[in-house]
């Protein structure tokens, strides 16, 4: 299990072509797209819709707190449910 974009404590779990990948953080599992899609939208807002996939990946590597902050929000939502 590899770190998601090299971000410490955030794991990427690939299940093959038959299922969506998952992100694991602090013992919680999240659908990959529930994590990545909102971050992509935020990135596109910040780049006026001009950001590329490679730039997005580098932006997350340079700013890992965007990932961990979003995951913390998702955990809070799960714990409230």
Sheet of 2-3, strands arranged across: 2-3, 10-13, 22-25, 28-31
Phi, psi of 71 (to 5 degrees): -65, -40
Q: Which residues of 20-39 are buried (b: 16+ CB within 10 A; e: fewer)?
A: ebbbbbeeeebebeebbeeb
Spatial CA neighbour of 27 closest among 75, 65, 77, 80: 75
Of 79 and 42, more confident = 42
Q: What is the mean pLDDT of the chain?
A: 95
At 25-36, the pLDDT tens digits run 999 999 999 999
At 31-56, the pLDDT tens digits run 999 999 999 999 999 999 999 999 99
Number of domains in the chain: 1
Please report which confidence band the pLDDT of residue 81 belongs to, taking 50, 70 and 90 as the band edges: low
The model's pTM: 0.91
Domain span at residue 67?
2-80
């Amino acid at each position: 299990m590899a770190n998601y974009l090299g971000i410490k404590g955030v794991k990427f779990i690939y299940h093959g072509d038959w299922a969506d990948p998952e992100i694991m953080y602090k013992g919680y599992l999240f659908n990959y797209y529930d994590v990545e899609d909102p971050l992509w939208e935020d990135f596109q807002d910040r780049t006026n819709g001009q950001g590329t996939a490679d730039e997005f990946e580098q932006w997350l590597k340079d700013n890992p707190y965007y990932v961990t902050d979003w995951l913390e929000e998702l955990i809070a939502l799960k714990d409230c449910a």
